[in-house]
Amino acid sequence: MNISSFFLMTKLMKRMNFKVFFLFLFISPFCHSQNYQVSSPDKKIGVRINNGEKISYAITFNGKEVISESTLGFEFKNEPAMFQQFVVMDTHEQTLNETWKPVVKSKHSVIRNNFNELRLLFREKSGWMRQMELTFRVYDDGVAFRTRLYRSGKNGHRQITKELTTFNIPGNPKAWVVEYGKYSTSQESEFFERPLNYITDKTIAGLPMLMNYGNHCWVAITEAEIANYPAFYIGTNGKNNILTTKLAPLPGEAVSGVKARFDDEVCTPWRVIMIGENPGKLIESEIVQNLNEPCAIPDPSWVKPGISAWDHWWSGDVKMEMPVIKQYIDFASQMGWPYMLVDWQWYGKYAVPEADITKSAPQIDMPEIIRYAKSKNVKIILWLYNSDVNRNSAYKKAFPLYEAWGIAGIKIDFMDRDDQDMVNWYHDIIKCAAENHLLVDFHGAYKPDGIIRTYPNMITREGVMGNEYYKFSDKMSPEHNVKLAFTRMLAGQMDYTPGGFQNVTKAQYKNQSPALVWNTRAAELSKFVIYESPLTVVCDHPDHILNQPGAEFLKIIPTTWDDIHFIDGYPGDFVALAKKSGSDWFIGVMNNSKEKEVVIKLDFIPPGSSVIEIWSDAADANVSPKNLNISRQSVSQGDLLRIKLANNGGWVARIKGN
């Protein structure tokens, strides 16, 4: 406003009521910015939203800024960008403090959902007058926000070309970065510790991204409830440590740049900032599941977690023939596992136009497999190639057929995308599978987003550089395995496929068939405690596991948990977790490549004397990594256990409840 305009307005206001004048100043486009605040229930986390020239937000933890002023907005095809000059039309605040019981207990049998929420409705001050709703939820363990966009004045699709959400990170904290380099991948790569300014505008980094700010402050960025919208990756805008959202592009839209289309309302996924005083608080967090809707399956009692055997090429010269399948069914039965996964080629050629997922290959007698498995108290899961599932909507015919056969679940492979179209395809598959009482395990998949709360049949997925890489890569270091607990696992379930019993030293390791595993037997057992996967698929051959040291542990280990307790650890160094099942506590400790001693304080077990069963690295595990010590002793609450970990070693235990 120039001076002459101001005086003209003043003369006019003399003829008006004085109070109206100040109301005009408050809502005028020339007024100062509007600020809104919301904090976590425990008051440790605070969020400030500023509606000035642009909409921005900032986050503090224990009075320290963890996200400096960061902007929000969108760019579109065939319409102006939407990021500035808004007026707040409405505000809504609420507090929720509830508990709910998950169908599948990944970490807790009862989950607390406690947050303070602020919802703001914005409208552009001029031009198209478009509206946008912004919702912030603040928990004791983090912050989540999402944006809702509406129809514009024009009929037809709106087309998003860029999301302008940023995360302005103060300082230059340590970060654990998984860099994919492109948007279409299986999300199977290593997380590397880098200074945050390693990330550039060319970076395409995956989520979750973990950061250590120092002074008891850890932060991780991920997302939750991805629906009808692409997943996002992280880069920068060319400025140090201002992280940007890079949306996975729609196929064939390289020239147009379109990332998402919608003709009605659309919500972004929740942008999640997990916050804690130590990295274990992030591991224990349920914020990702809490941000999803309650269970949508009317009666999910058929969803049963458990361990599965797997007739996979990883474990040797495994052929797709009846005797081999029956051998693995026998294996599952002997171990007391509920499932056996029949892998690729059971329906013959795959990934070709003539592939038919409703008919088994000539050498495979599916009714006999199902009959035999049932006689052994084992259920069958079937592998499928994604294009064979999608072609001519084959799944709509196949899934009801599988239910009629008595199939328990499906494993679908090689999607390698997380754009809007693929995200919607995941939802179609998950819903159709639920209607036909089928569990779902996605491989070649994008990271989980908490949908297991809404559709618990979506019981696990890959999206991780797991045990299969021992077969053909030298990247599977113990450091990588430790880092997974602090990074990829923050997003949720991961089908790492543990259970490699051909344990060797680093010097002995090589790529071969059957595959070798470069860590101790005790370290391999620890993966069953530490890694989160309600359906845990075991990778190795029956002959390598049956009657071998440690096999007895795989007969008693559960795959779901009533509670979780972080004991100690650091990404890439070691991790120690305790998980409760019923009245028993299981403990898993995984080491990197340097032997060390770790102290565990049993402050999480109930009072009184308990018996602890221990599977630990033998004294010669540095040279003979298959060797285990198996022992038992009495322990009490508060006892300290001093554990010696071999190079690439581990330690597991069960504390029996009274």
Q: What is the pLDDT of residues 42-51, one digit of tens each?
A: 999 999 999 9
> Which of 269, 290, 311 is where one domain is finished?
290
545 within some domain: no
Q: Are 515 and 538 in contact (CB under 8 A)?
A: no
Asked if 272 contacts 223 with a C-beta cutoff of 8 angstroms, the reply is yes
Decide which of 441, 463, 485 is a domain's last residue.
463
Nearest to 230 by CA among 165, 286, 287: 165
Q: Look at residue 24 in the predicted model and tell me its pLDDT.
A: 30
* Residue range(s) defining the domain that contains residue 178: 32-290
Q: Do 433 and 356 reside in the same domain of the chain?
A: yes
485 has a pLDDT exceeding 50: yes
Are both 50 and 117 inside the same structural domain? yes
Residues 264, 206, single domain; the answer is: yes
Of the candidates 529, 571, 566, 549, the residue with the CA atom closest to the CA atom of residue 627: 549
Q: Please tell me the distance from the alpha carbon of residue 322 to that of residue 387, in angstroms, as a whole number.
A: 26
Short-list 190, 196, 194, CA closest to 178: 190
| pLDDT value at 22 more than 70 | no
Return the biggest CA–CA distance within the chain. Answer: 96
Residue-averaged pLDDT of the chain: 94
Domain termination site, one of 238, 257, 290: 290
Whole-number pLDDT of residue 496: 98
Tell me the pairing of strands 174-177 and 650-656: unpaired
Q: 165 and 71, same structural domain? A: yes
The yes-or-no verdict on residue 6 having pLDDT over 90 is no
Is residue 403 domain-shared with residue 327, that is, in the same domain? yes
Give domain status of residue 539, yes or no. no
State the DSSP code for 100. E
Residue 586 buriedness (CB in 10 A; 0-12 / 13-18 / 19+): buried
Distance of CA 439 to the CA centre of its chain: 18
Q: How many CA atoms lie within 13 A of 178 on its CB side?
A: 28
Mean pLDDT of 413-419: 98
CATH code of the domain covering residue 583: 3.20.20.70
Confidence bin at 313 (pLDDT 50/70/90): confident
**Angle value at C-alpha 239, between 34 and 55, nearest 5 degrees:** 15
pLDDT at 82: 96
Give me the residue label for tokens 């009692």: 301
Is residue 552 in some structural domain? Answer: no
CA distance linking residue 175 with residue 194, whole number of Å? 5
Q: Is the pLDDT of residue 12 over 60?
A: no
- Average pLDDT of span 533-545: 98
- Residue 88 has a pLDDT of 97
Closest Cα to residue 487, out of 530, 458, 453, 519?
A: 530
Confidence at residue 18, expressed as pLDDT on a 0 to 100 scale: 29
Residues 301 and 178 grouped into a single domain: no
Minimal CA–CA distance to 232: which of 200, 209, 198?
209
Instruction: For residue range 364-409, list pLDDT tens digits in order.
Output: 999 999 999 999 999 999 999 999 999 999 999 999 999 999 999 9
Q: Is it the case that residue 428 has pLDDT exceeding 60?
A: yes
* Closest listed residue to residue 210, CA positions, set 139, 279, 162, 296: 279
Report the length, in residues, of the chain.
Answer: 658
Residue pointed to by tokens 């009666």: 299
Residue 153, pLDDT score: 87
Say yes or no: 87 and 2 in one domain. no
Residues 188 and 306 occupy one common structural domain = no
Residue 422 has pLDDT above 80, yes or no: yes
- pTM attached to this predicted model: 0.94
Is the same domain home to 469 and 459?
Answer: no
Is the predicted pLDDT of residue 196 greater than 90, yes or no? Answer: yes
Q: Judge if 286 and 368 occupy the same domain.
A: no
Q: How far apart are CA 601 and CA 261, in angstroms?
A: 53
CB atoms within 10 A of CB 523: 32
Buried b (16+ CB within 10 A) or exposed e, 376-409: eebbbbbbbbbebbbbeebbeebbeebeeeebbb
541 is a domain residue:
no
Do 215 and 79 share a domain, yes or no?
yes
pLDDT band for position 315 (cuts 50, 70, 90): confident
Phi-psi label, residue 569: left if phi above 0, alpha if psi -120 to 50, beta otherwise: left
Q: Which residues pair with 503 in a beta bridge?
A: 517
Question: Does residue 319 lie within any of the structural domains?
Answer: yes
* Separation of CA 385 from chain center: 22
Residue 365 within a domain: yes
CA distances from 533 to 155, 462, 561, 657 (A): 45, 10, 10, 23
Q: How confident is the model at residue 293 (pLDDT cuts 50, 70, 90)?
A: very high
Give the CATH number of the domain where residue 281 resides. Answer: 2.70.98.10
Q: Tell whether 351 and 474 lie within a shared domain.
A: no
Q: Is the pLDDT of residue 136 over 80?
A: yes
CB 591 within 8 A of CB 614: no
For helices 366-375 and 322-335, give the axis angle rounded to 10 degrees: 20
Q: Are strands 142-149 and 131-139 parallel, antiparallel or unpaired?
A: antiparallel
Please give the tally of structural domains in the chain: 4
What pLDDT sits at residue 657?
85
Kindly state the percentage of the chain with pLDDT values over 70: 95
pLDDT value at residue 312: 86
* Residues 353 and 392 sit within 8 Å (Cβ to Cβ): no
Alpha-carbon distance of 309 to 380, in angstroms, equals: 10
**Above 80 in pLDDT, residue 192?**
yes
CA pair distance 612, 286, nearest whole angstrom: 28
Judge whether residue 215 has pLDDT over 70: yes
Domain membership of residue 346 (yes or no) is yes
369 part of a folded domain: yes
Helices (H) and strands (E) in the chain, counts: 13, 35
Q: Give residue 32's pLDDT band: very low, low, confident or very high (50, 70, 90).
A: low
